[in-house]
Amino acid sequence: MAATLLCGNLGSLSLAGASVKHVSSSSTAFNGQSRIHMPSVAKGGKCRSLEVSAMAKSQDELKNIRQMSDEEIGASVVDLKGELFVLRCKQATRQEYKSSEFRRIRKQIARMLTVRRERELEQGINKRESRKLDREWKKNVVIKPPSSLATLVKAESS
């Protein structure tokens, strides 16, 4: 029997006669976790159930980012923007680079800035004040080459 999946709310999945029901998914606040209840038949004909919990990779990264301080987030955003600049330079000079790195780095920057904005909202900072703080932060940023560039320079000089 072919596996069928009812789209929409992940209603049920039938695999060789066994039905799989989607147990928990919050329709209002999906947090990247999905648990699926799968009944299976053990030896002796007894039925036992398995719960599979899957967490999105971005949720793991968000946990790590939320543990960072504001200064660490700011420093890592500056480093990631430096890495983006290095990738753009490699692209322009037709050197070898991974095109998937552009998207990965941009998403990491966005996650960090999102966490920073969440913290501002918790403090009651409105959008206008946030932009003023961002301008001040950008003025005080000391631009330095990213760590990945230092390793590239060492590799080329060796």
State the pLDDT at residue 45.
Answer: 58
Helix (H) or strand (E) holding 89: helix 70-92
Tokens at 83, concatenated = 């890495």
Chain centre distance of CA 56: 8
Tokens at 138, concatenated = 């950008």
State the pLDDT at residue 19.
Answer: 45
Provide the 8-state DSSP code for 123: T
> Facing residues of 74 across strands?
none
Is the pTM here over 0.75, yes or no? no
Could you read off the pLDDT tens digit of each residue along the chain, which spans 158 residues?
Answer: 344 333 444 444 444 444 444 444 444 444 555 555 555 555 555 555 555 455 567 788 889 999 999 999 999 999 999 999 999 999 999 999 999 999 999 999 999 999 999 999 999 999 999 999 999 988 888 877 787 777 878 888 87
Around 100, how many Cα atoms within 13 Å sit in the side-chain half-sphere? Answer: 0
State the pLDDT at residue 40.
Answer: 52
The answer to whether residues 35 and 24 touch, using CB atoms and an 8 Å cutoff, is yes
